[in-house]
Structure 1
Amino acid sequence: MIVDLVRHGDTGRRGHFDGRHDPPLLADACAAWPAAPQVAWSQIVSSPLQRARQTAQAWLGAAAPPLLISQDWSEWHFGEWEGLSQEQIAASEAGRAALAAFQRDPVRFPPPNAEPWPLFQARVERALRALATRDDAARVLVVSHAGPIRLAISLACGLPLSALWAMRIEYGTRVRLRIGLDGSDRLWGELIELRQTCD
């Protein structure tokens, strides 16, 4: 089946660790986006965070199918860094060291008291499997966040997560995947398209 993963619109907080911290979209966050493509999505799924829900509603309009809210598509919880900017964290020597380690390897060096990585990975894989078991002809739109989108690409396509930090997932980025389960019930996928929706 085909799944389109879209990152929410601009909140005006670039450089902040807004995982479960939930700022609203800027008033004109989706104004410059092109119209939603004419795709017959059978279902629209959204993270429960308001920036994702607001994006789906603003981009798709009133004629869109009802949103299915899924906790599994929430952003990673950044623990003690929630809501802080990189500059705030780097204000101390210990913070700079922790931030540098995180940027090298977020799996091994997560923020203090962050959501355990295995739990984050398990819920994104569960969300992908729920989509992969649908009818092969179905197309689903998921409005989520940069972290779950990168992790979904890694899980479905077998790409190392470290390589995906080089992939720009800007506000409004749309990633199209074809996903399924093989004969051994293993998730597989291929990256069909990556488009910066807001360009």
Structure 2
Amino acid sequence: MEVYLIRHTTPDIKKGICYGQSDLNLADTFSKEFKAIEEQIPNNKSYSIKSSPLKRCALLAEHLGNPVLFDDRLKEFDFGNWEMKSWDNIPKDELNLWMKDFVNFKVPNGESYTDLASRVLNFFEDIINSNSEQDLIIVTHAGPMRAFLASILNIPLEKSFDIKIQYGDVFHLKKDGNSWKLLSEIALE
């Protein structure tokens, strides 16, 4: 089974806003970004498509084909009380605690990065345990992608932000028995 792991295209939001699981529209650069994504996926195969249900992923997934199976485990980090706030307006004491231990600190009314990683790894474990050999497209967010890639590359979660992921990035993987093999090159900081 081959898998194309794709980050959604650029969202329509000002820089400096914490938006995790907020449902955002896409920027007007979508068509151009979509073409670049489409060029990286072989069109001589059929794919099953799974996606985060958040609009910025769902719209891309639906452009890639139908039907799309939506899975909440592919959602971005839940920033709870911080959603749609400017990073400058998040209470400094909370932000400092999070920055000190962003892997384990649970954002007020949100989740920890460990929580995100657990649900994402559960999703990928279900794929490994399935008997399906159907090639797959997965459309998701940078947080879930980093957590998964860190896992297969044996990078600790606290170092996972060294994995550079841009809007519209595509990573090619192969299911190899009960493990994953990354076929794409990956940029590390």
Task: State the TM-score, normalized to the length of structure 1.
Answer: 0.77
* Residues in 2 aligned to 1:65 and 1:171: alpha-carbon distance in whole angstroms: 22
Q: 2:159 aligns with which of 163, 182, 188?
A: 163
Gaps of 5+ in 2: none
1:48 aligns with 2:61: no
The answer to whether the 8 A contact 1:45-1:140 is kept is: yes
Q: CA RMSD in A?
A: 2.6
1:141 aligns with 2:137: yes
The answer to whether the 8 A contact 1:174-1:195 is kept is: no
Q: 2:184 aligns with which of 174, 177, 193?
A: 193
**Deviation, structure 1 residue 53:** 0.6
Structure 1 stretch displaced more, 150-159 or 47-56: 150-159
Q: Could you report, residue by residue, the CA deviation over 1:26-56 in whole angstroms, capped at 9, with x for unpaired residues?
A: 2332424425122424301111111101122
Q: 2:102 aligns with which of 94, 99, 106?
A: 106
2:108 maps to a residue whose letter is P
Once the two structures are aligned, what percentage of the paired residues are identical?
26
**Which residue in 2 is equivalent to 1:74?**
75
The answer to whether the 8 A contact 1:20-1:76 is kept is: yes
**Which residue in 2 is equivalent to 1:6?**
6
Counterparts in 2 of 1:29 and 1:105: CA distance versus 1, 3 Å: farther
Task: State the TM-score, normalized to the length of structure 2.
Answer: 0.81
Counterparts in 2 of 1:109 and 1:164: CA distance versus 1, 3 Å: same
Q: Could you report, residue by residue, the CA deviation over 1:83-114 in whole angstroms, capped at 9, with x for unpaired residues?
A: 1222222xxxxx34543443453123342222
Structure 1 stretch displaced more, 75-84 or 130-139: 130-139
**Deviation, structure 1 residue 133:** 2.7
Counterparts in 2 of 1:15 and 1:138: CA distance versus 1, 3 Å: farther
The answer to whether the 8 A contact 1:4-1:177 is kept is: yes
Higher helix share: 2
Gaps of 5+ in 1: 90-94, 183-187
Counterparts in 2 of 1:175 and 1:103: CA distance versus 1, 3 Å: farther
Task: Say which SS state the counterpart of residue 153 (structure 1) adopts.
Answer: helix
For this pair of structures, how many residues does the alignment match? 182
Task: Say which SS state the counterpart of residue 172 (structure 1) adopts.
Answer: coil
Task: Say which SS state the counterpart of residue 123 (structure 2) adopts.
Answer: helix
Task: Say which SS state the counterpart of residue 143 (structure 1) adopts.
Answer: strand
1:38 maps to a residue whose letter is P
* Residues in 2 aligned to 1:85 and 1:3: alpha-carbon distance in whole angstroms: 35
* Residues in 2 aligned to 1:106 and 1:2: alpha-carbon distance in whole angstroms: 32
